[in-house]
Amino acid sequence: MKDIAIFGYKDSSSGQLINMLSKKSRKKLNCIISIKKKINLNIIKEHKKRPNKKTEFVVKDKIFGLPVFYEKDFVKILKKRKIKSVFIMEDRGTERGIIFKKIKKTKIKILTFIHKSVKLMGKNNIGDGSIIFPDCYIGYKSDIGKSCIIQSGCRVEHHNSIGNFCDINPNMRTGGFTKIGNFCEINISVVIINRIKIGNNSRVGAGSLVLKNIKNNELQFGRPSKFIRKNN
């Protein structure tokens, strides 16, 4: 029965997830849903921006062979199409938070995906709806919150806590006893030393080295990282 829906239509996120799913799971996919507004793209121009023409785009409200629905009141679609479970792959943690909250009021299951190459070192808690990409390392007694996206090659050391609805980009590194708050975005190749606290809704720019605590709602960047502005 085709009873799984995916939130998010981008090839760079949902496309990757579909590619990683088992054949059995792919056969159960029913549709793609997005809470974003529909955008009409010039696909020829979009391909020119990219290194090859393999990126898929929504064409005639279909992508990956699945119908696409753009609807903020998405629960109606889920019920109409008899969806029993969902993956949430929208880009922003705030968007995933909105979807997560509404889905939790229904009987629909929010699915978690952990790639088979991920190393879980023991006594880890992984929140509902989180997606962990290949070659990640989650250290002993480290926890990942709800609906986080942890991209490939990240190393989260022991006794860490990553909050809910975070976006962790490839090759992030943390020391032990580090805490990352809710709705944070940690960009590619960021290094965070041990015992650092990063506040809610904060963002760390690519390649930064975090040596001091970061307050709520801050954008920091640099080696070492420095306050750039408030993160709105």
Phi, psi of 144 (to 5 degrees): -120, 135
Phi, psi of 179 (to 5 degrees): -125, 125
pLDDT band at 178 (very low <50, low <70, confident <90, very high): very high
> Is the per-residue pLDDT at 40 higher than 90?
no
Q: Are residues 120 and 114 in contact, defined by beta-carbon separation less than 8 angstroms?
A: yes
- Region 56-79: mean pLDDT is 94
> Is the per-residue pLDDT at 18 higher than 90?
yes
Q: Nearest-CA neighbor of 33 among 63, 62, 69, 82?
A: 69
Q: Are residues 221 and 202 in contact, defined by beta-carbon separation less than 8 angstroms?
A: no
> Is the per-residue pLDDT at 187 higher than 90?
yes
* pLDDT tens digit sequence for 201-229: 999 999 999 999 999 999 999 999 999 99
- Region 153-180: mean pLDDT is 98
Q: Are residues 175 and 195 in contact, defined by beta-carbon separation less than 8 angstroms?
A: yes
Taking the whole predicted model, whether its pTM rises above 0.75 is answered as yes
